[in-house]
Amino acid sequence: MPTPHPYDALTPDLILDALEGAGIRGDGRLLALGSYENRVYQVWREDEGPPVVVKFYRPRRWSDEAIGEEHAFALELAEHEVPVVAPLVIDGRTLHEHAGFRFAVYPRRGGRSPELDRPDVLAWIGRFLGRLHVVGGAARFAERPTLDIASFGDEPRTFVLDGGFVPADILDAYTAISAQALDAVRRAFDRAGAAGGPRPLRLHGDCHAGNILWTDDGPHFVDLDDARMGPAVQDLWMLLSGDAGTQAGQLARVLEGYEQFRDFDRRELPLIEPLRTLRLIHYSGWIARRFDDPAFPAAFPWFGTQRYWQDRILELREQVALMDEPPLAV
């Protein structure tokens, strides 16, 4: 018999009871929203108030203190009129608990995906990120982690290799190329450190198009769940795609907006491909570590197949080559 997962107990009745305990009575209608790391639902209210979004945190991932820092950062950004979706303060608290689950309640904020092929959109997002980083640079996280090679590269690689997720006949190839890639990442970070940068600041941490919602009033960010300390460029590079020339043009537009509010240290540019490499290795480790959650085999049925790991080997070979290329010239 399969081992029960903690989320198995998160039934509709429990969700509604949790919200009612926080002073919000649902009318029974729930809509599961796209989230694998946590469980997130839109809930319609029994009164005339607008629907809310409730986020149930994955058990044992973050401490209460680390979640508190996420919420405090979101509220600080909102106080400075940076458009993020911050948790609702209910009875003086943003983090609530019910039946062993910790949760937060957010206002519902709609929007569409940003059109990242438009220069004006990139500049607008750049202005937003510049303002976000001004606030992020004003203090440090004490409980939330720093983006580093150990947690984003070494640890997920070891978990994948020790867990038997890579097919035996290509295990040696993945072991070798992932080690080679991380060596290249270390050299890049060492060079950046020797050059006097980067200076870590509080980041959104997972700044991809899926976490940006666009309205006629411009962008707003959702999901600060991965907020951490790190270099500013971490919040910029995921907006870029295409060949080097195309990415350089996109980054120029982002920085056009960004530097209206905050200077960007060009010494961080050589970290773009190393950070991309860390994300690729971390992503496989993230899936592997969550594979006991029934949502993950259903969402990633190809994980563990020969084709998946062959593609990862090719991907990392490309990254090793890219990390030997000159950084983007902006």
Catalytic one among 47, 183, 223, 226? 223
Residue 206 known to be catalytic? yes
Size of the chain in residues: 330
* Angstrom distance (rounded) from CA 132 to CA 181: 31
Residue 13 known to be catalytic? no
Catalytic one among 206, 225, 235, 293? 206
Encoded tokens for 135: 């606030």
- Helix-strand-coil split of the chain, %, nearest 5: 50, 15, 35
First to last CA, the chain: 57
Q: In what order do the strands lie in the sheet with 39-45?
A: 26-33, 39-45, 52-56, 101-107, 96-98
Cβ–Cβ under 8 Å, residues 103 and 16: no
Distances (CA, A) of 275 to 40, 84, 221, 224: 28, 24, 21, 19
Chain position carrying tokens 């709609």: 110
Cβ–Cβ under 8 Å, residues 66 and 143: yes
Encoded tokens for 195: 């050059």
Name the residues annotated as catalytic: 206, 223
